[in-house]
Chain A
Amino acid sequence: MIMKSSVAELREAARLIRRDIIDIAYLAEGPSHPGPALSIADILAALYFRVMDADPRNPGWAERDRLVLSKGHACPAVYAALAGRGYFDRAWLTTVRRLGSRLQGHPDMNKTPGIDITSGSLGNGLSLGLGIALALRLLRKNCGVFVILGDGELQEGMIWEAVMAASAQKADNLTAIVDYNHFQSCGGTDEIVPLEPMRAKWESFNWNVFEINGHDMEEIVSRLEMAKRFTGRPTVIIAHTVKGKGVSFMEADNSWHQRIPSKEQYDTAMRELAGGSE
């Protein structure tokens, strides 16, 4: 049996994921996407360190729960979580997006241990997750599939193809998590193509809907675990988040969507993420 981390341990795991995201942003010189990665750090900590059944020593374990990162540009956060769980050497992290790296600019199932499926160009992940969910059901496996969606990518029509099909298929082993940080590459989702009423949209497609503060670890864990057990319909967790969460000058500043920090900014960010012991 895998040890289940406490909420305090999960907060610590999220802090370490955030530090790795900043390391990747600065040291790998990608440039990577620190803002969108920080936004989902808490959710990923909860998934990888508690909610999902998975075995870092056996990444292909047939009974594992699966994760699809539909907003694939936020993969530094997933790489950090995977390294934290021991799927691969932490030294890999600063190679993200470099020539020859096993950590690609978007998730690659054949290059990176722990990546369940190649994903990342926007709008595709929910369909991929639905396919995994239907396959697991056919195999009579009681595993969950978690799909992390960006809010902006809900502007892709294909997402709604999958939303309709998942409820038609009663894919109750599928959980979508919307990282609702109200930003996309060019600006605010509220200005570009508003997504409201978010909750009503999913409800009208017959999904089970939870809304959470995507940075409140207790709430995250509680709703993810409820979603995993929920039967009859797929579940969406609308996670209200802050883009760049955890680094003061990155929070809600969309210029950090994709950007390399300066040395000074890097030092500041790492000081803020130093944790209680330092």
Chain B
Amino acid sequence: MIQYDKISSRDAFGNALLRIAEENPLLVGIGADTTKSMGMQKLSEKYPERVINIGIAEQNMTAVAAGMAATGFQVYAASYAPFSTLRAAEQVRTFIAYPNLDVKIVGGLGGLSGNIEGVTHQGLEDVAVMRSIPNMTVVIPADAASTEVITEEIARIRGPVYLRLGRGAVEKVFDAGYRFQIGKANVLKADGSDAAIICNGAVVARALRAAQLLDANGVKARVIEMPCVKPIDADAVVESAAATGAVITVEEHNIIGGLGSAVAEVLGGRRPSPLLRIGIEDIFTESAPHNDLLDRYGFRPEDMAARIGQFLSSFNSKNEEEA
């Protein structure tokens, strides 16, 4: 029985933001005509002068955020993932990350959740770009409850963070008891010595179901949520590779540059292991409802389970041949 969140991650972010703002008078939100759509409505109603709609101009929004942060504020600059991270990439890099200013870049419509708007509004390269910028922390919550917890946690660090959110309500994975620490993985299913599935974002629920399907077929896979892609929990990656001998990453992102790449970098350096990266296969997708896109582009639990099974048997048989 699939259970969905009652609210979107954007609204969950907004709820947490209001609570943080009540504690911190030096918190402001800024949007590029996105203050409503990025969940800042409640903050704006309570503290009208602390939410700025700067107009449809993401580069300006981002540099204005830098200016405010340089003057003492913690700034939440919220727009949509492709605009926040691609259109305004230089402003994020040079004026926020380089001087290490306390701006949280909040990108909605991350992954395929830009859904019916099509490729223009889907954020499938955002993590790659943000991850390559020094000083930047990159975080991808899985659902509404974890988004609230993560929003409160990233507020505690003074410095740039990219918080990647979705659009609509997604499958519920966590409750309010969710725990988050920068740079730490979250083990969701600890048993499993055949494979380790490392995942994040709205596809965590689907990865868990894929693991159940594998389980039914006698393949025991552990599941690890990696909400923080940078800094990544390298020890957790190495440990899961050591315990299982095979790693699978699942992410709503181009397979180039995101979680799969981050895991590959860790494994390549510390424990070379077979790795299957499930994600968008370096292509442009199309318009459709979010779940239809997830099904079509490789995230059906059945399809993932089948791919993982094939992957495991392919190198297991190869190992046998070599032996």
- Residues of A at the B interface (CB closer than 8 Å) are 62, 66, 68, 108-110, 116-119, 121, 124, 127-136, 138-139, 158, 161-162, 164-165, 168-169
Contact = CB atoms under 8 A, between A and B. Distances in A.
A104 to B, nearest CB: 10
Contacts of B69: 131
Given A127-B64, A130-B64, A118 B99 contact: yes
A117 B67 contact: yes
Nearest to B103: A131
A159 to B, nearest CB: 9
Nearest to A136: B71
A135 B68 contact: yes
B84 to A, nearest CB: 15
Interface stretch (B51-59, B121-129, B305-313): B51-59
Nearest to B70: A117
Q: Which bucket holds chain B's interface residue count?
A: 20 to 34
B86 to A, nearest CB: 15
A124 B95 contact: yes
Contacts of A134: 52, 64, 67-68
10 closest A-B pairs (Cβ-Cβ)? A131-B67, A127-B63, A135-B71, A161-B57, A161-B60, A131-B64, A135-B68, A118-B99, A132-B67, A128-B67
Interface of B: 28, 49-50, 52, 54-55, 57, 59-60, 62-73, 90-91, 94-95, 98-100
Chain B interface, >50% SS class: helix
B63 A128 contact: yes
Contacts of A162: 60, 63-64
27 contacts: A66-B71, A68-B67, A109-B70, A109-B99, A110-B100, A117-B70, A121-B90, A124-B90, A127-B60, A127-B91, A128-B64, A130-B67, A131-B67, A131-B69, A131-B70, A132-B67, A135-B28, A138-B49, A138-B73, A158-B59, A158-B63, A161-B55, A162-B60, A162-B64, A164-B55, A165-B54, A165-B64
Given A127-B64, A165-B57, A116 B70 contact: yes
Contacts of A129: 67
Contact of B95 (A62, A116, A119): A119
Nearest to B62: A127
Given A119-B95, A124-B95, A129-B67, A135 B100 contact: no
A193 B207 CA distance: 54
A135 B67 contact: yes
Contacts of B50: 138
Contact of A128 (B55, B57, B73, B95): B95
A162 B49 CA distance: 19
B179 to A, nearest CB: 33
A118 B68 contact: no
Which residue, of A68, A116, A161, has the highest number of chain B Cβ atoms within 10 A? A161
Given A131-B64, A161-B57, A165-B57, A124 B94 contact: yes
B296 to A, nearest CB: 36
Which residue, of B50, B72, B100, has the highest number of chain A Cβ atoms within 10 A? B72
A124 B100 contact: no
B68 A117 contact: no
A132 B95 CA distance: 13
Nearest to B60: A161
Nearest to B64: A131
Given A121-B90, A121-B94, A165 B55 contact: yes
B67 A127 contact: yes
A131 B91 contact: no
Contacts of B68: 131-132, 134-135, 138
B91 A124 contact: yes
A117 B54 contact: no
Contacts of B99: 108-110, 117-118
A272 B254 CA distance: 60
A52 to B, nearest CB: 15
A130 B100 CA distance: 19
Contact of A118 (B65, B73, B95): B95
B79 to A, nearest CB: 13
Nearest to A125: B63
A54 to B, nearest CB: 15
Given A132-B71, A135-B70, 13 more contacts: A108-B99, A118-B94, A127-B60, A127-B62, A127-B63, A127-B91, A128-B64, A130-B67, A134-B64, A134-B68, A138-B28, A138-B49, A158-B60
